[in-house]
Amino acid sequence: MAKASYNPRVVKQLEADGWFPTTTDYWDAFSRRTKDLYSCIDVIGIGKQGTIAVQVTSRGNMASRRKKVLAAEAFPHMQDAGWIVEVWGYDQPKGKGTRYRLKRERLNGPPVAVPDAREWDHDTRIRSQYK
């Protein structure tokens, strides 16, 4: 599906933010589906800030992915371990072949630091009510 093309973007952005990321989803040939870590995490990263877990999707599908992460059996354990859990949504507002736009929603952990708009052209949104 289209999500697979977003994972390299997420890895690249996390590396730029100082994380050591890796993708965690894989293709299960038996069920012919991709499997996520704990059924809700596509990319995980470690760094000085701790551990970050990211669910990647399109911007239009972020609400359902947020519900999926919050309903996951592992979500309370991720919170207890101090993980930062985010949902990242990408779209191309000006159509195919144009620049991607990112929207980040943090489901727990410290607020997202928003870089200067001249340095970073992505949208950022914090979902602090899920703390």
Residue-wise pLDDT for 10-60, tens only, equals 999 999 999 999 999 888 899 888 888 999 999 999 999 899 999 999 999
Kindly report the number of other CB atoms within 10 A of residue 127's CB atom. Answer: 17
Average pLDDT, the chain: 82
User: pLDDT band at residue 107, thresholds of 50, 70 and 90?
Assistant: very high
Q: Which secondary structure element, helix H or strand E, spans residue 111, and what is its range?
A: none
Q: Give pLDDT, residue 7.
A: 85
Q: Where are the domains of the chain?
A: 3-130
Q: Token match 């800030």: residue?
A: 49
Domain 3-130 has CATH 3.40.1350: yes
pTM for this predicted structure: 0.77
Angle, vertex CA 25, rays to CA 90 and CA 53, nearest 5? 65
Q: Over the stretch 1-11, which tens digit does the pLDDT of each residue have?
A: 344 468 888 99
Kindly report the number of other CB atoms within 10 A of residue 105's CB atom. Answer: 22
Choice between 68 and 7, residue whose per-residue pLDDT is larger: 68
Average pLDDT estimate for 57-78: 93
Length of the chain in residues, anyone? Answer: 131
Rama region for 95: left / alpha / beta (φ>0; ψ in -120 to 50; rest): left
Q: Give pLDDT, residue 111.
A: 62
User: How far is it, in rounded angstroms, from Cα 123 to Cα 50?
Assistant: 23
Q: Is the pLDDT assigned to residue 117 strictly greater than 80?
A: no
Kindly report the number of other CB atoms within 10 A of residue 98's CB atom. Answer: 10
